[in-house]
């Protein structure tokens, strides 16, 4: 009998395979006529991988791991150019979506192409400093208050955000996540988690990852540390406990360190607010 984790691995694999074999043909037919597909330059800004496939893959995780329901109020911290928002437009019936990011072009595109078609999807621009992604930002993420009321969201997620944030910023965001989530609501956050296995693989495979320790984090590049950030798993677990977030076990480890068995690319941590 398949375990829940094995079933999720199978679902993710099927989604990725289906999109790899079909998305090229569909895009060649539709061109840029797909209203929820950003132009190539914007898609490239959020990183490598198939834009649609990754969005659909994570929608599955939101539902299966995060317990997302069609009538939930959802917050996407670091929404980029709508990669996660687009597949949710056909799912959040009766619910709503809020997203914010530091990228003006991404927020502008989402407002013009998503909000105009789905008024329950709203996007906000924040001018927070990030050396890699918004070096001209005027505010510190370590001081930023999310522009939403306390206890107002049923589900919240960060996809590849804490993998680009240093500890003072991460801790403030974690505090704000707890503030805006309803009690017993869930959050889904991706990380690069360093533990015995990932350290062993990094050394064994001679991966050039996270060789520099920087104020509680590990980074690729000390000149622009936010390019890639990792944290010790034991430290992340302690942080979650400190902020009264109960991790829903197991953590779903990713392939970023070239594991043989994985769910997605980054490590996925799901937690419930108020779990002691």
**CATH number, domain with residue 143:** 3.40.50.150
Give residue 175's pLDDT: 98
The owner of tokens 């679902």 is 11
Structural domains in the chain (count):
1
The pLDDT tens digits for 151-161 are: 999 999 999 99
The owner of tokens 């510190």 is 140
Say which residues have a Cβ less than 8 Å from residue 163's Cβ, sequence separation at least 6: 190, 191, 192, 228, 229, 230, 266
As a whole number of angstroms, the distance between CA 188 and CA 217 comes to: 20
Sheet containing 212-214, strands listed edge to edge, beginning at the edge strand earlier in sequence: 193-194, 229-232, 217-219, 212-214
As a whole number of angstroms, the distance between CA 275 and CA 237 comes to: 13
Give residue 44's pLDDT: 80
Give residue 30's pLDDT: 42
The pLDDT tens digits for 244-261 are: 999 999 999 999 999 999
As a whole number of angstroms, the distance between CA 150 and CA 60 comes to: 27
Between 9 and 256, whose confidence is greater?
A: 256
Give residue 48's pLDDT: 72
Give residue 275's pLDDT: 54
Give residue 127's pLDDT: 93
As a whole number of angstroms, the distance between CA 73 and CA 153 comes to: 5
Give residue 28's pLDDT: 41
Give residue 19's pLDDT: 42
The model's confidence at residue 12, banded by pLDDT at 50, 70 and 90, is: low
As a whole number of angstroms, the distance between CA 115 and CA 93 comes to: 14
The model's confidence at residue 132, banded by pLDDT at 50, 70 and 90, is: confident
Check pLDDT > 90 for residue 192.
Answer: yes
Q: For residue 41, give Cα distances in angstroms to 67, 81, 143, 195, 241.
A: 33, 11, 31, 35, 40
pTM for the model stands at 0.89
Between 177 and 40, whose confidence is greater?
A: 177
Full domain range(s) for residue 132:
4-273
As a whole number of angstroms, the distance between CA 269 and CA 37 comes to: 28
Helical H segments across 65-150, by residue range: 85-88, 104-110
């Amino acid at each position: 009998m398949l375990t829940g984790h094995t079933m999720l691995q199978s679902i993710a694999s099927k989604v990725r395979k289906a999109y790899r074999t079909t998305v090229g043909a569909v895009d060649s037919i539709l061109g840029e006529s797909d209203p929820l597909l950003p132009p190539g330059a914007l898609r490239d800004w959020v990183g490598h991988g198939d834009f649609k496939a990754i969005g659909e893959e994570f929608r599955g995780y939101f539902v299966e791991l995060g317990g997302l329901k069609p009538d939930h109020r959802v917050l996407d911290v670091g929404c980029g150019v709508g990669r996660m928002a687009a597949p949710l437009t056909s799912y959040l019936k009766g619910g709503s979506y809020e997203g914010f990011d530091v990228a003006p072009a991404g927020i502008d595109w989402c407002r013009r192409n998503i909000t105009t078609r789905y008024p329950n999807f709203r996007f906000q621009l924040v001018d927070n400093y990030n050396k890699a992604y918004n070096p001209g930002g005027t505010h510190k993420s370590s001081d930023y208050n999310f522009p939403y009321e306390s206890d107002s969201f049923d589900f919240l997620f960060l996809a590849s955000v804490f993998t680009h944030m240093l500890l003072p910023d991460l801790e403030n965001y974690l505090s704000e996540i707890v503030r805006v989530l309803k009690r017993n609501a869930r959050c889904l956050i991706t990380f690069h988690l360093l533990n015995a296995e990932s350290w062993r693989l990094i050394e064994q495979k001679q991966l050039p990852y996270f060789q520099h320790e920087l104020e509680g984090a590990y980074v690729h590049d000390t000149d622009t540390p936010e390019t890639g950030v990792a944290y010790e798993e034991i430290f992340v677990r302690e942080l979650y406990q400190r902020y009264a977030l109960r991790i829903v076990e197991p953590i779903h480890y990713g392939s970023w360190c070239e594991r043989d068995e994985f769910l997605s690319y980054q490590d996925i941590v799901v937690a419930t607010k108020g779990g002691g």
